[in-house]
Amino acid sequence: MLTWNDVTGKTNDHIVPIITDNVFKSSPVFTRLRKKRRFAFPGGLTIRHNIMYAPLKGGFFQRGQAFDTSAVQTDTALQFNLKYAYVNVTLYGVDQVLNRGTEAAMSYVSSKMVNASGSMAQILGTSVFGDGQGTLTSTLELDGFKAAVDSGANYPTYGGITRTDISSQANTGINAYYAAPAAFNLSTIQTAFGSSWFGQEKPDMLPTTQPVWDAFWNKLQPQQRFNDETSDVHVGFKSFNWNGAQVVVDQYLSVLAERTRCLV
């Protein structure tokens, strides 16, 4: 039986010159960090971030009164080890020779580099929600939000500092608000939002999983729910405003939840 006929022997298959991503998910949190919260690393053995945790002595006084001139320790620093992530791209030279000329519908190398970019975004976008302390994610991974946003109940230390060493009744130090409600409700979210408001700083993004985003959306009246068309992470993402913050779905939150179940 002949393999080719009059037509198939003279006609190539048509290859659509695009590749469809069925692997990588979306992470508006990683997009925000990359666009607005990124600091260049010029070099060094560790990363140290100074924080102010106590006020100087001061107050009202009357004529002739002695001031309290005792020295006060007001500052310290969070210190983090460098973390390294890689993506391996192995290419055969022979394949590159074959993938060229008019017969190459798309670049073999370019498609691999696009995959490498998405792989790195996936690695970082997932790890940023972990702890990097060996409880939820490996110590090789980022010192992520899980450890940073904690009251001290789950992670008593962060950045090399024991939280109780710089916290008191008048000062939370580096303690953050943490709660694990059994069910979603707006009053719980409002309490968390208010507890995270410090001075002029307040949350401007609320990342959720898709089920939580759906519950959030359903709880709000139409006149309270506004689609945000001006967000810096708007491209490719759907968000709505609540208390001036963008509520967005971060699909890598779900990925981390799957990893948690595997660890358990």
Distance of alpha carbon 167 from the chain centroid? 26
For residues 41 and 157, give the distance between their C-alpha atoms in angstroms, rounded to a whole number: 24
Asked, for residue 46, whether it belongs to a domain, the answer is no
Divide the 264 residues of the chain into consecutive groups of 10 and give the mean pLDDT of each group: 87 86 83 86 94 91 94 93 96 91 89 92 92 93 93 93 84 85 88 88 89 87 61 61 88 68 37
Task: Give the number of domains in the chain.
Answer: 1
Asked, for residue 142, whether it belongs to a domain, the answer is yes
Q: Would you say the C-alpha torsion 171, 179, 196, 209 has a positive or negative sign? A: positive
Asked, for residue 164, whether it belongs to a domain, the answer is yes
For residues 125 and 103, give the distance between their C-alpha atoms in angstroms, rounded to a whole number: 37
Asked, for residue 16, whether it belongs to a domain, the answer is no
Asked, for residue 135, whether it belongs to a domain, the answer is yes
The reported pLDDT for the residue numbered 10 is 86
CA gyration radius for the chain?
A: 26
Asked, for residue 222, whether it belongs to a domain, the answer is no
The reported pLDDT for the residue numbered 163 is 92
Helix axes 251-263, 108-127, angle to 10 degrees: 70
Identify the domain containing residue 160 by its residue range. Answer: 129-178
Asked, for residue 64, whether it belongs to a domain, the answer is no
Asked, for residue 259, whether it belongs to a domain, the answer is no
- Model-level pTM? 0.82
